[in-house]
Structures are given as C-alpha cells and as structure tokens.
Amino acid sequence: MKLKNGYLIFFLLLLIPLCGCKDDKITSPQSNADVVVKLSGTDYNQNSFKTLFPDTASLKNISTAYSNNYSEERKTELLSNMKIKVKVLGEDVTVIEKILARAGCNMSGVYILPTYAEKAKYNGKDAWLVQFTYGLSSPDFGHFKCFALSIPDLDTLDYVGCK
C-alpha cells in the first residue's frame, strides 16, 4: 500500500506521541492541584451551605497534594494562582487578599491553604464562600473551615468546620 508524501508525514506525526522520549516531564497529580475559583448565581442559605460545604473534591485535591508535598514556595504559588483566577474573573483581588490574611494563609509556618472560593449570594446578599484546609501542627492537611462572607465588609454570614 502506497501513501503519498503528505499522507505519510501526517501518519508519522500521529505516531510521535506514542513514542516515549527521555526528556518528557512527568508531572505528578500533586503538583497540579489548584484552588477552585468561580462565580455563580446561586443564592445559598443556612441549609444549603451546610449541605454543600465542604466542597469535598477541592478539599481532597489540595489536602492530598500538599500533605506530602508542602513548602512555603508551593503555598505562595497556590495563593498567587488563586488571586490570578479572581482577577481573570474580573473580581476585586483586594477582597480575596483580605480573606486570605484574615484566615492566616499569608503567615509563614501556618498550615492553612485555600481550596475553594465562589462569589455567589447568601440569603440575597453578595458573598464570597471560601473554604480552607489546614493541618494542626504540621502540614498534614485535611481539616476544613468554610465561610460565607458578605461583600464588601466581610462579615461572617455562616461557618462550618471540623468538629
């Protein structure tokens, strides 16, 4: 069976991903863990907040990734990525910075990381719903704190956390 030159090149290009290269970077799932940031039109109330939080997918993703792979540099990168996502969505980054500072995420040696942030409503008020994972005395993450905070004053409208 003969292939024309153009088809032969196309065929060979299709095979390249199947060939292993020694220089391929292997990225572990841990290094790809990132905070979820989104906007929604959801209007939460006490019942829905306590039912839907913690967001177990993001909690597990960040907790698993950072418990065995923690460093202050990785923490800083995660926090920066969160702020970038907030900015890309057209939201006020200073509000998120205040939330992170209030939670203790910006302090060195404090084992707390954001896992989820959603700008939504809570009982009709504009709010940020944020979730953090933390380790008690070491970066062994898995505990959680979830807040519904009013915008712009950041009053706590609701809270759920580990008991």
φ/ψ of residue 79, rounded to 5: -65, -40
> Which pLDDT score is estimated for 26?
28
Q: Strand, helix or coil at 40?
A: strand
Asked whether the predicted pLDDT for residue 141 surpasses 90, the reply is: yes
φ/ψ of residue 41, rounded to 5: -95, 10
> Which pLDDT score is estimated for 33?
87
Q: What is the pLDDT of residues 16-59, one digit of tens each?
A: 333 332 233 223 334 568 999 999 999 999 999 999 999 999 99
- The residues facing 127 across adjacent strands are 120, 150
Domain ranges of the chain: 32-161
Is beta strand 125-134 parallel, antiparallel or unpaired with respect to 112-122? Answer: antiparallel
pTM greater than the 0.85 cutoff: no
